Structure 1
Amino acid sequence: MPALVTPFGRTLCAMITPFTASGALDPDAAAEHAVALVADGCDGLVLNGTTGESPTTTDAEKTALLRAVREAVGDGLPIVAGVGSPDTRHTIALARQAEQAGADGLLVVTPYYSRPPQAAVEAHFLRVADATGLPVMLYDIPGRTGTRIEPETLLRLAEHPRIAAVKDCAYDVLGSTKVIGATSLAYYSGCEEMNLPLYAVGAAGYVSTVANAAPRELRAVLDAFDAGDTTGAAQLNLLTLPLTALMMASGLPGAVTAKALLDAGPVREPLLPADREAVDGLRAAHRQLRETCRELLPVAP
């Protein structure tokens, strides 16, 4: 098995994009949130992804967000910029824009809606990887895009020197384990309930929406596993599941639930804000997780 590499860190947050009350980009709030996430245990950030409402932010806003967060966290923290689109030419343009704005890597989702065959999926990723000098994290989320990056395709793509990682939302532990074992691709769980299972078979870490609200608690699961306390890791993981279920499996998108829980400004249409019942449930689950973990986790520096 090739040596494991973690090109973008281990505990990454798929960060929300804060907006003002009027719906404009709020770079100051984004910078503040990014600094808080790093202080609370995130060692990498993913901007302009699905949780960052990338379908409804302009190219200029994506650049402004990246520059604001880069300035806030400094040069030492990995920042991965979401540049995926259903259009290869636009994706390449976004990739070059992100490179110029200070990104350390690119998150590239499978082209969606058109449902290209595997040969076209592979060609798309290769074109993007060839367009800049940045390492690429492929985003495999067939539930949203309608198209899987098949394991055989990933095995071929792994041969490209700048295709370095996968954000895995395929819910295929067998396929993921095969690719992890046969390549040097750094796998990152993109579904919180899969963080520990994938980590146990060799994943590099996670890219998490829930980390917007519970970065220390999610990181503690991996820390316990790394320390050899697999029972403790499983127990901590179990504690995170109620909040994960409400944030990611309640019928509301993660951008909606994360912003509602953090009171981080509005979402953009077609998303709608969470109702009062949902907000109350999220806050109760978050409070319970924090209170339960308070005595189990070390005090943050």
Structure 2
Amino acid sequence: MTEATSHLLDPAPFGRIIPAMVTPMKADGAIDYDAAQNLAKQLVKDGADGLLVNGTTGESPCTHMDEKIDLVRAVKEAVDVPVISGAGSNDTAHTVRMVENIQEAGADALLVVAPYYSRPSQRGILEHYKAVDAVAEKPFIVYDVPGRTGVKIATETYDELAKLKHVTAVKDATGNLGNALERHSRTGLTWYSGDDGIFLPFLSVGAVGVISVIAHVASKPMRELADAFDRGDIREAQRIAAQLVPLVHALNGDGFQAVMAKAALKVKGYIPCAAMRLPNVEANAEQYKKVEDGMRAAGLL
């Protein structure tokens, strides 16, 4: 390849390897902000070039507004990479308040999930995001995760979302590569994979990076995978992707990503405590073994 064509990936404005960071807690359930700062520094040292806080893996349904704000401030103070914060709810008015407060706390971008549980119409989804756009001062990422929200965002709705001033990117956890290719091409929005197991296929249809669970302990190989793809070494990218499959299964396979991510971090010694807030509970002995086996099989222990 010539110098002008040596990169296959488009720029990643919020980072290419972005762990969906857990929220470290003390045994009593209080947020451990010191541990969060130490974890953020470690993740960046390992190869992450962006961080997401207050996402699903960060137990966002169980943390409160003031805690979310304090977490953004703590992590921003600790690292010099883009810090994205979740700021989504199934209540549009509450979402708007979260966006206003969290962007004021210093988040570089916001992740706004499609309104969940109430299953609004496509018009309702669009109006929800319009309300966010009206108060947004920072760019925001549309989070499309129908397995959790119970709603699917239609391609035609994406066409309208792309017209909003502050919508700049999508975290796509639909698992649908065909839709991702079409929607990215139609809208020009920056695309991020929201599924660890299909990170490499998503790169092939235009994604620039991943918002990831396994990057808590696998930022380095995931960055190497992206770098290999970027320079056109698809065989090496495939090799790394295959190497990470046991870890993907271990941390994501049962659907308890926050639980398993904290277990993996405790095994690595990256956090001192893997306590969770109810209704989640800390991993049991069998789950810890699954995490350790997955990490070992992926060459990370």
TM-score (norm 2): 0.92
> What is the Cα deviation at residue 273 of structure 1?
1.8
The percent of aligned pairs where both chains have the same amino acid is 41
Q: How many residues align?
A: 287
Q: Which of residues 195, 218, 224 in structure 2 aligns to 1:191?
A: 195
Residue 32 (structure 1) aligns with: 38
Query: Quick one: which of 199, 204, 212 aligns to 1:200?
Result: 204
Displacement of 1:285: 1.8
Question: 1:112 matched to which residue of 2?
Answer: 116
Q: 2:130 and 2:41 mapped to 1: Cα distance?
A: 33
Which residue of the other structure, out of 228, 238, 244, is the alignment partner of 1:224? 228
Query: Which residue number corresponds to residue 52 of structure 1?
Result: 58
Q: Match for residue 99 of structure 1?
A: 103
Cα deviation for residue 180 of structure 1 reads: 1.2
Q: How far apart, CA to CA, are the structure 1 residues paired with 2:294 and 2:252?
A: 13
| 1:101-250 to 2 correspondences below 5 Å | 101-249=105-253
User: What SS class does the counterpart of residue 81 from structure 1 fall into?
Assistant: strand
Report the more deviating stretch, 152-161 or 39-48. Answer: 152-161
Distance 2:296 2:40 in 1: 21
Q: Does 1:22 align with 2:25?
A: no
**Which amino acid in the other structure matches residue 172 of structure 1?**
N
The answer for the alignment partner of 1:10 in structure 2 is 16
Alpha-carbon separation, structure 2, partners of 1:222 and 1:159:
29
User: 1:67 Cα deviation (Å)?
Assistant: 0.6
2 CA distance for matches of 1:190 and 1:104?
A: 19
Q: Structure 1 residue 274 and structure 2 residue 278: aligned? A: no
- The code of the aligned residue for 2:139 comes to P
Query: What is the aligned counterpart of 1:254 among 238, 254, 257?
Result: 257
Residue 37 of structure 1 and its aligned partner are, at CA, apart by: 0.7
Do 2:249 and 2:294's aligned partners in 1 also have CA atoms closer than 8 Å? no
Instruction: Find the aligned partners of 1:72 and 1:277 in 2 and give their Cα distance.
Output: 34
Q: Any conservation in 2 of the 1:5–1:184 contact (CA below 8 Å)?
A: no
Unaligned segments of structure 1, at least 5 residues: 293-301
Deviation at 1:290, TM superposition (A): 2.8
> How far 1:288 sits from its partner (Å)?
3.0
| Shift of residue 277, structure 1, vs aligned partner | 1.4
Would the aligned equivalents of 2:217 and 2:300 in 1 still touch at CA under 8 Å? no
Distance in 2, matches of 1:214 and 1:11, equals: 10
Residue 78 of structure 2 aligns to a residue whose secondary structure is helix
CA distance in 2, matches of 1:211, 1:43: 11
Q: CA RMSD in A?
A: 1.4
- Of residues 15-24 and 258-267 in structure 1, the stretch that sits farther from structure 2 once superposed is 258-267
Match of 2:299 among 290, 293, 300: 290
Distance 1:61 1:193 in 2: 31
Alignment partner of 2:56: what SS? coil
Rounded Cα–Cα distance in structure 1 between residues aligned with 2:263 and 2:235: 32
- TM-score normalised by L of structure 1: 0.92
Q: AA paired with 2:116?
A: Y
Q: 1:237 and 1:285 mapped to 2: Cα distance? A: 14
Give the AA of the match of 1:43: D
Does the 8 Å CA contact 1:243/1:282 hold for their aligned counterparts? yes
The CA deviation string for residues 239-275 of structure 1, in whole angstroms up to 9 with x for no partner, is: 10111011001x2411000111112420110012221
Aligned residue identity for 1:7: P
